[in-house]
Amino acid sequence: MVTSARTITFLLSMLVVASSVAGEHPRSDPYSEFDVLIRQLEAERGRESGLESRSNELSANIAGLRDKIIEFVASIQSSEREIAAVEIELGQLEKSYKVAHQELIQNNRHLSASIGGLARLRRNPPEALAFTPIQKTQLRLRVAVLSLFLSALHQDGAKLKHVLSETEGLRIKRVRQHFEWTKEREKLEIERKRLEWILRRKSVLQANIHIDRQRVAEEVESLASRVADLGELVTVLKLATGNRLKPMPPSIGQRIDAKQSQSSDDSQVVFILPTESSLPYPTWGPVIRSFGERLENGSRSQGIFIQCGSGSYVIAPREGYIVFSGDFRAYGRLLIIEHAGGYHSLLAGFARIYSEIGDWVTAGEPVGVMGDRERQGAVLYIEVRHEGEPISPREWLELLDRKVSR
Contacting residues for 339 by C-beta, under 8 A, at least 6 apart: 271, 274, 318, 319, 320, 345
Where does the pLDDT of residue 406 fall: very low under 50, low under 70, confident under 90, or very high at 90 and above?
Answer: very low
Q: Which domain holds residue 334?
A: 287-405
Tell me the pLDDT of the chain averaged across its residues. Answer: 64
For residue 276, being part of any structural domain is answered with no
Please write the tens of the pLDDT for every residue from 26-70.
445 545 555 555 555 555 555 445 555 655 565 566 666 666 666
State the Cα angle at 267 between 387 and 233, rounded to 5°: 145
Q: Give percent of the chain with pLDDT exceeding 90.
A: 1
What contacts 96, CB < 8 A, 6 or more positions away?
170
pLDDT digits (tens, 9 = 90+) for 101-152: 677 677 666 666 666 666 665 566 555 444 555 656 666 676 666 666 667 6
Same domain, residue pair 243 and 292: no
Domain shared by 302 and 246, yes or no? no
**Within this chain, do residues 96 and 147 fall inside the same structural domain, yes or no?**
yes
| pLDDT reported for residue 344 | 86
For residues 58 and 209, the answer to whether their CB atoms sit within 8 Å is yes
Per-residue confidence (pLDDT) for residue 157, from 0 to 100: 65
Residues 49 and 139 grouped into a single domain? yes
Q: Is residue 379 in a domain? A: yes
Q: What is the SS3 assignment for 276?
A: coil
CATH assignment at residue 292: 2.70.70.10
Q: What is the pTM of this model?
A: 0.47
Q: Sorting pLDDT into bands at 50, 70 and 90, what band is 209? A: low
Indicate whether 117 and 38 sit together in one domain.
yes
Residue 165 has pLDDT above 60, yes or no: yes
CB 366 within 8 A of CB 315: yes
My answer on whether 251 and 316 are in the same domain is no
Residue 258 has pLDDT above 50, yes or no: no
Amino acid (1-letter code) at residue 318: R
344/245 same-domain check: no
Q: Residue 78 falls within a domain, yes or no?
A: yes
